[in-house]
Each structure stands twice: as structure tokens, then as C-alpha cells.
Amino acid sequence: MSFWNYIGSNYPQILSLVIEHLKLTAVSVGLAILIGVPLGIFISYTSKAGKPVLSLANVIQAIPSMALLGFMIPLFGIGTVPAVVAVVLYSLLPIIKNTYTGIENINPQTLEAAKGIGLTPLQVLTKVQIPLALPVIMAGVRIASVTAVGLMTMAAFIGAGGLGYLVFSGIKTVNNNQILAGAIPACLLALTVDFLIGLVEKLVTPVSLQKGDAALKKKRRTAQKAGLSVAALFLAGIFIFTSVGGKMDGSRSISIGSKDFTEQEILGNMMADLIEDRTDISVNRRINLGGTQVCFGALQGGDIDMYIEYSGTAYTDMLKHPPVSDMEKVYETVKAELKEQYGLNVLKQMNFNNTYTLAVTQETARKYGLETISDLASKAGSMTSGTTFEFSNREDGLAGLQKAYGFQVGNQLTLDSAPRYLALEKGEVDMIDAFSTDGLLKKFDLKTLVDDKNFFPPYYAIPVIREDALEKFPEIPALMEELGQLLTNEVMMELNYKVDELQQTPAEVAHDFLVESGMIS
């Protein structure tokens, strides 16, 4: 599929994400202006406060964006609020600094003259200092706005939406068309924002300081005002239309989340489609939220009501038990302890087991005679692994695996999702971790090694739902059980393959499967 064909097939989603991105950016920059400009004015009048305020703003600016988003989740949960707060904090430095600089650099004689004609301190500020400092202040706002457009792509990591959703989904599924469909509009949006705020910057610059003929300057300012008026009306229309159109009946609505990889997105959309078709419940889809801890934290905090977890992940990563291979023990323990410790209900586990596995190329398997993980023991020291962040840092991941099998990988690299498959294909790594139902295993024709010591626990899919949601919607467990009976390892791999290789959307794959299986009309 070409890029333009992808755009033609998915333009409603792309347009929706552009609007979402624009709204998030506008709200963030607006709040940053409301906070930053008064702070800049304050420190220009209170010299002792200047250094601490600017130092704090500098420190915030120095924090990596992903780390700052991570800090926001425990405080504000997931979604729009933490994303907006993070971007506001990042946007403060240029606004505060430029406000302070603009006011400080006003000619002292001008201020003396203003005081000499009897203006009060407030009048000096509003009628002299702010108007003269506005061009410098707007330069800071311009920098902050363009930066905010780029930073807001990170919002997709915590379920806030925006164009970052397409970028990160494309990276995870090795879909360059999807990456470009998110990156190009984000770039164009940044250029548009830069242009529009540049017009504002020119409008607030005193005419006497602008070059050119007076009549020409007047015509230019009229055109600039007209352009900005149209842009302002367009933005206001977007806010009003989407706010009115996006309202949902809260009395019968449920929020369903998912993690940030293909299978989870398919499952999240399946659950949503099934519930909406078979009940009168409306679904708020919080798809592609992030890793285990993000989704689990969102469930605990009430940001979502239900999502699909995996029994082994809950047993080892969330409940901190050592890995075991007993399916029934893992499931019953997870069900009992999530209920006891967190008040969460685990529904009947589904039929597919998306357990971890190690994968190598067919060439590597033949070269070293690899069939099982035990076969790695004598070769691992000269090999390079490329594993995901979660697998690298979990007891049921690489560290525990090496202890159980008694080997040590020579060089360990940490890669995210689909890029590790590309690294394996290019020979940059020798082995990767994978889920047994990954569609990318089929796409890249990889050899999966048998876990002959049964180290990995079972990873059966289990719907986890909040107690209040279960009480409100008692019909959901039966629907999830019906769905779970249809999803085998083979079915799930094929569905993942349709997204990862055939470049269908997770929502489309989920819907088509439910229709073909007769679960929805």
C-alpha cells in the first residue's frame, strides 16, 4: 500500500487525530501563557525571586520528556490531564524568560517619563511596559508553541491521543506509511502554528519599529488581522464542535483500555465492538495506553474500567511471585490476590497463551543448531540480544531466564517493540524476545526456541475489571467468556499478522473477525 492510498483509506482517523493534537496543544500553550507571563512580570519586579524561578524552569526543561510524563501518571493518572500538565511545564521557560527580558530591557527614561506624567505603577505596567515588551513576549510564546506541537506527540504514550498515536503505532508495526501519516501532519501543524504566531508577533510590534512604507504597513496589518481572525474562528469552531459532538451518556458507559502493542489494540477494539453491539453500553476506548504499569495504574485510579492483562504478567510482575509453569495455580492466585489486594475482578481466562519466547533467524538457528533455549548455553556468550524494556527488567524476563538456564548473553541491547525485529533481520542482534502470538514472527519467518525447562509462566489473556464496573454491567463477563473461547494461539497470530504485515488497522481487524465469527451483526 502506498502512502497516498494509506491516507485515502484512513483520512477520517488522521483528521480526528490532527484536531485532537491541535486542541491539546492550544490548551497547553494557553495555560502556559496564563502562568508564565504573570511569573515573568513578578520576577521583573521582585529581583530576589528571579533566580529561583528561572532555575526551577530550567530544571524542568532539562528533565527528559518521557521521564516527566512518567512522573505525571501517579499524580494525575493517564490521558489528557498529565499530557497537558507536562507540556505546560516544558513551555514555561521561554515564556517566563522572554517576559522578564522584555520588561527589563525597556529604556529607564521611558519609565521615568511615564511616572512623570502621573501614571500609577499599574498604569505604567499595563500601558507602557507590557505593550513595549509584547514583541519579545510573543517571541517566547512562539518558541513554546512550536515546541509544544512536537512534545504533544508524546501524549500518545499515556492515552491522550494526538498524532503521536500514528507515529508510535507505525513504529511498533513497522508501518512506514503510518509513521509518515502522523509525522507529516505534526510537522505541518508546527509550521502553521509558527506562521500564525509570527503574525501576532508582527501585529504587536509598534508600527514605528517596522520597516517599509506607511501605507504598505497598514495594508499588511489589515491582512494579518484578517488571517488571524479566520484562524481564531476556525480554532473556536473546532473546540465547540468537538466538545458538543464528543459528549457521552455517562449513565451507561465504560472505559476500556489496552497496552501499546498490536495484539492489545486488537483485543481492546474487540471488547469495545462486542459490548457496543450486544448491549446498550457506550464505550470510551483508551487504546494504546502504554506498558503494564501504565494500564494497571489507570485501572486502579479509575481512568479505565477494564483491560486485558496476561496471567503470567500479573503473577510475576504485578504480584511479585517467582515464575511457575502451573497454569491453574497462576490463574487462581492472580484471581484471588488481585481481588484481595486491589479490589479488582479477574474474569475467565481466554483460550490463547501469549507466552514469552526467544526468537532467532532461520539462518542463525541452522548455524548454531538451535532448537531449544538450552541449546543457547554454549553460544550465548558470543551473541547479542535485543530485548524490550519490560523483558529486560522483569524476573520472568532475561535476568531470570539466564539464571534458570545457566548462561550469560555476551552483549545485551534494549530495543522497543518492532525495531528489535528489524535489528534481528539486519544482523545487528542475534536473538530477541517475542510473544508466541506475534504476527511479526510470521512476517519475518523467525525460529522460536522451545522453553524446554518450562521457565516462562503461562500468559493466558485475562480480562480485569473494576468492582464498580462489574456491579454496574453484570452482562460483561458472559460476553468476555464467549469471546475468549474463539481466540486460540493460531487465531490470534493470524489477526496480529493482518495488522503487522497486511497493514490493516487493529480496529478493522477486530471488527471483521467479530462479524465473520457471527458475534456481531
Q: Over 104-150, what HEC string results? A: HCCCHHHHHHHHHCCCCHHHHHHHHHHHHHHHHHHHHHHHHHHHHHH
Average pLDDT over residues 299-320: 91
**Could you check whether 253-353+459-516 and 356-449 share the same CATH topology?**
yes
Residue 391: its pLDDT value, please?
87
User: Any bridge partners for residue 255, and if so which?
Assistant: 284
What is the fold of 3-205? MetI-like fold (1.10.3720)
In single-letter form, the type of residue at position 81 comes to V
Residue listed under C-alpha cell 510473544: 435
Residue 310 banded pLDDT, cuts 50, 70, 90: very high
Residues 262, 268, 270, CA angle at the centre, nearest 5°? 100
Residue 167: its pLDDT value, please?
86
CA atoms within 13 A on the CB side of 356: 27
Higher pLDDT, 484 or 80: 484
Residue 153 banded pLDDT, cuts 50, 70, 90: confident
What is the fold of 253-353+459-516? D-Maltodextrin-Binding Protein; domain 2 (3.40.190)
Sheet holding 306-310, edge to edge: 282-290, 253-259, 306-310, 461-466, 344-346
Q: What is the pLDDT of residues 280-296, one digit of tens each?
A: 999 999 888 877 878 89
Taking CA atoms, 13 is separated from 9, 276, 516, in Å, by 9, 20, 24
Q: Pick from 132-141, 337-346, 433-442 the range whose average pLDDT is largest.
A: 337-346
Residue 242: its pLDDT value, please?
60
Contact 428, 411 (CB under 8 A): no
Residue 247: its pLDDT value, please?
46
Average pLDDT over residues 185-206: 85
> 431 in helix, strand or coil?
strand
Average pLDDT over residues 469-480: 95
Residue 197: its pLDDT value, please?
87
Average pLDDT over residues 476-497: 94
Average pLDDT over residues 160-176: 80
What is the fold of 356-449? D-Maltodextrin-Binding Protein; domain 2 (3.40.190)
Residue 277: its pLDDT value, please?
94
Whether residue 442 has pLDDT greater than 90: no
Residue 245: its pLDDT value, please?
47
Structural domain boundaries in the chain: 3-205, 207-246, 253-353+459-516, 356-449
Mean predicted lDDT score pLDDT of the chain = 87
* Integer Cα distance of 498 and 144 in angstroms: 40
Residue 516: its pLDDT value, please?
95
Residue listed under C-alpha cell 516527566: 68
For β-strands 411-414 and 446-449, DSSP reports them as: unpaired
Residue 251: its pLDDT value, please?
63
* Integer Cα distance of 464 and 404 in angstroms: 30
Whether residue 208 has pLDDT greater than 60: no
Contact residues for 395 (Cβ-Cβ < 8 A; gap 6+):
316, 317, 320, 322, 323
* Integer Cα distance of 488 and 513 in angstroms: 13
Contact 424, 361 (CB under 8 A): yes
Indicate left, alpha or beta for 136 from its phi (over 0: left) and psi (-120 to 50: alpha).
alpha
Among the listed ranges 221-230, 353-362, 412-421, 480-489, which one has the minimum average pLDDT value? 221-230
Residue 464: its pLDDT value, please?
97
* Integer Cα distance of 216 and 198 in angstroms: 18
Average pLDDT over residues 177-194: 90
User: Any bridge partners for residue 386, and if so which?
Assistant: 413, 432
Average pLDDT over residues 163-171: 83
Residue 280: its pLDDT value, please?
92
Contact 318, 292 (CB under 8 A): yes
